[in-house]
Chains A and B, each alone.
Chain A
């Protein structure tokens, strides 16, 4: 297991592409290889995944107030 990664910045960019679902098959294969042999890459992967999850799951999603929905609906009726 590698304790030091020589291309951390590139690896990090690739990890983000993969988590965003934007990576090519080739990039995916390369990362899979890294993830069994490179300690820093494994850590980066978990951190990126965790941060993404914080944003998707833990942050409150504001809903549109009903009053605003009603206002918009009534305003467009007067439009045409």
Chain B
């Protein structure tokens, strides 16, 4: 399994500058406006020639563009926002290409940039329906009571007739942090370890967030499944 490059490790000077940047996490990989192009003399710089840059970009980054677009669309639920987000991500990736090490996991590297850009630039304006406070949900689902209720009265057979739109709507109705772990795991097939690095959270948090996200999703799906049960009788 390929690992995600520790992009910080070869640019120690940035670390100090970043500390002022608010809560740890989002900005870690690619602080806006902070050029990484000039690594200090004692770091193993990956000085790609221009030709190599384009080569890396085309061979390692471009093949993931459909997945990236899909991720952007699932996060923003809007095509224009997804367009902007993907474009910004790819331009950043090119600008900071010297901190990408060839042969490492380009897809995870790109996803991490996109996720950070989303948090920094798009989250505020994203049109999330009925925005739930993430902390609230996390707290609610931390209680054992909530968990045991959620070994759900939903049957595999009853979800087997759901269509894509219903699944998408159910997914979109989840708070974005829960939606994100489901996208990364179930749609993109990242490992927990890769997800932990993309999201800057411990692996234990990945595990529990995913568990809660799925319980929430099953609740939403149960609503669809039961509304379908009623429809069947009227033979639409």
**Identity of the chain A residue whose Cβ is nearest the Cβ of B82 in the assembled complex:** A62
**Identity of the chain B residue whose Cβ is nearest the Cβ of A80 in the assembled complex:** B50
Q: Assess whether B91 is in contact with A20, with CB atoms less than 8 Å apart.
A: no
B65 CB, nearest partner CB in chain A, Å: 5
A7 CB, nearest partner CB in chain B, Å: 10
Chain A interfacial residues counted at CB < 8 A: 38
Q: Assess whether A16 is in contact with B211, with CB atoms less than 8 Å apart.
A: yes
CB within 8 Å of A: which of B74-96?
A: 74, 82-83, 86-87, 90-91, 94-95
Partner of A22 from the list B147, B156, B187, B192 (CB cut-off 8 Å) is: B192
**Identity of the chain A residue whose Cβ is nearest the Cβ of B185 in the assembled complex:** A20
- Digitize A18-50: 1 where CB-to-B-CB distance is under 8 Å, 0 elsewhere: 001110000000000000000010011011111
**Identity of the chain B residue whose Cβ is nearest the Cβ of A61 in the assembled complex:** B70
Chain B interfacial residues counted at CB < 8 A: 49
A67 CB, nearest partner CB in chain B, Å: 9
In Å, the complex CA distance between A16 and B70 comes to: 24
Q: Assess whether B156 is in contact with A47, with CB atoms less than 8 Å apart.
A: yes
Q: Assess whether B187 is in contact with A56, with CB atoms less than 8 Å apart.
A: yes
**Identity of the chain B residue whose Cβ is nearest the Cβ of A55 in the assembled complex:** B186
A55 CB, nearest partner CB in chain B, Å: 4
For B182, the chain A residues whose CB sits under 8 A away are 55
Instruction: Decide if B210 is an interface residue (CB 8 Å cutoff).
Output: yes
Q: Assess whether B156 is in contact with A9, with CB atoms less than 8 Å apart.
A: no
In Å, the complex CA distance between A54 and B171 comes to: 11
In Å, the complex CA distance between A40 and B70 comes to: 35
Instruction: Decide if B137 is an interface residue (CB 8 Å cutoff).
Output: no
Which has the most chain B C-beta neighbours within 10 Å: A12, A59, A80?
A59
Measuring CB to CB, which residues of chain A are less than 8 angstroms from any residue of chain B? Answer: 8-9, 12-13, 16-17, 20-22, 40, 43-44, 46-52, 54-56, 58-65, 68-69, 71-72, 75-76, 79-80
Measuring CB to CB, which residues of chain B are less than 8 angstroms from any residue of chain A? Answer: 50, 53-54, 57, 62, 65-66, 68-70, 73-74, 82-83, 86-87, 90-91, 94-95, 144, 147-148, 151-152, 154-156, 159-160, 162-164, 167-168, 171, 182, 185-187, 191-192, 207, 210-211, 214, 217-218, 221
